[in-house]
Structure 1
């Protein structure tokens, strides 16, 4: 029977479902409630006291940072763990979140193990005691409690800052004439635009083949590691000079570019799940530039 309560906040229902599924499977003593934005989360938190908040940064109506700032001013939430789950990993944003009282920072896309470790780290002995009393065992990293043991004896202000994930897009070998093995990339309808598609443990270097407001199709060399269908992804696209759009999505389709079994290129379709109007505006600008290059 669940005795702890967690609130999952994200404008993408696909991401909320991933987080809730991980908690159900690995921490059955945690009951989950979800909200599609910070404003809705604020309303729920005013009526119910939660033991853990897992929240996205970029959302319409109220961002994750704004929710965190409000939360830390409420007496009942001064010390409640808050995990920011977001594709924004640049140093300035991490520092800002730490300054406002974030407990941990988890970059998208994340693995169930990565999320589980963060939850164990911030909830510590409280979670372990509840699991022990319920007779449930932890699924996942066996050493997660050992890794966080030192944190249980430290004061909050002395805890180390969360690691900063590297979200800079790498240059794609597909953009180099002839590629690594002399093969040229398949012809594109528009101007070639580099895109880094990030998964939980690796980055797929690619170029944009086609894009609209709901999905992007990229072409990648076949000698790279590839994801599975429905794997969560973050697509980094340069929408302007020194400005990146980080779009959350999942793998909808994998397909060989040609009919040969030893094809040099693979097409990957990523379905977007973001509902943030700001991200859609950035994406619209990129699409306009991309299609203009086809003329």
Structure 2
């Protein structure tokens, strides 16, 4: 039986579902409610009492920082824990959140363990007591469904060097051209002068340096060198793209596909497709501007 109430606020339903699923699996004493933006969250908070708020920063209608500032001005929410979950990790935003009264700051993409640790930290004895009364353990409960999902999405280790063929068959002409193009693009990515096709893809435990090969409003396909740390299918991702005028778009998504660039087992490049999940009109506008620049430069 639920003893505590948590409100999850994010414009992306995919992210809301991830947060709620983690809370249900790790802390079953919580009842979770969600809202797609700060304005909707404000309405729910005015009519209900929540013990924990987990909120995105960038959202339409009312941002996370605006919700935080409003919340701290309400006597019933002056001391309720507020965790800001956002792709904005720069110092200025962290300082602004701290000044607004944030309890903890969690960067996207996040791992279930990282989110759980933040919740434990801000809830303290209130959560421990509720779990104890419910006969639950605080030792990271993981159900069979999650274990099955982990088996399906677990990252595969790269084969040892001795298992790679000593001689590789020559790639076909199409693959060879694509490899050459990817190599040239990767060289551009390491150049000091920024290129509009360079993208940094962040995951919970690594960052992938890559170049954009194709992009539309629903997904982006990037090419990256194989010697980096790669994610698993369905892992969360944040794609950082320079949209011009000194502005950086931080687009939330998940890994939809991983594929070798050519047919050789020892290929140097991997193609990664990220499906976007953001529903913020401002982010979609930034993405549209980048797509126009990208296609004009091809």
Partner of residue 259 from structure 1, selected from 253, 260, 263? 263
Matched residue, 1:165: none
Checking the alignment, whether the CA contact within 8 Å between 2:196 and 2:242 is kept in structure 1 is no
Instruction: Give 1:139 deviation, angstroms.
Output: 3.4
CA distance in 1, matches of 2:246, 2:110: 25
Question: Does the aligned pair in 2 maintain the 1:6–1:33 contact within 8 Å?
Answer: yes
1:86-115 Cα distance to aligned partner (Å, 9 max, x none): 001111111011001010000000000000
The yes-or-no answer on 1:117 pairing with 2:109 is no
| 1:158-169 aligned within 5 A | none
- 1:196–1:203 Cα contact (<8 Å) kept: yes
1:237 to 232, 238, 241: 241
Q: 1:221 — aligned with what?
A: 225
Q: Give the CA deviation at 1:42.
A: 0.7
- Give, in whole Å, the separation in 1 of the partners of 2:213 and 2:118: 36
Q: Deviations over 1:22-52 (max 9, x none)?
A: 0001000011000111111111101100000
Distance 1:255 1:192 in 2: 23
Q: Deviations 1:193-246 (Å, cap 9, x if unpaired)? A: 111100001101110001111110000111211111110000011111432110
Bigger CA radius of gyration = 2
Runs of 4+ with deviation above 6 angstroms: none
Maintained 8 Å contact 1:192/1:209: no
Question: What are the equivalent positions in structure 2 for 1:69-148 lying under 5 Å apart?
Answer: 69-140=69-140
**Structure 1 unpaired stretches of 5+:** 142-181
Deviation at 1:140, TM superposition (A): 2.9
Q: Once superposed, what is the RMSD of the aligned Cα atoms?
A: 1.7
CA distance in 1, matches of 2:244, 2:184: 24
- Over 3 Å counting, the alpha-carbon distance change for 1:194 and 1:184 in structure 2 is same
How much does 1:187 deviate? 6.8
Report what 1:56 is aligned to.
56
Map 1:5-20 → 2, pairs under 5 A: 5-20=5-20
Normalising by structure 1, what TM-score? 0.82
Q: Which residue of 2 aligns with 1:26?
A: 26
Q: 2 CA distance for matches of 1:41 and 1:4?
A: 17
* TM-score with structure 2 setting the length: 0.82
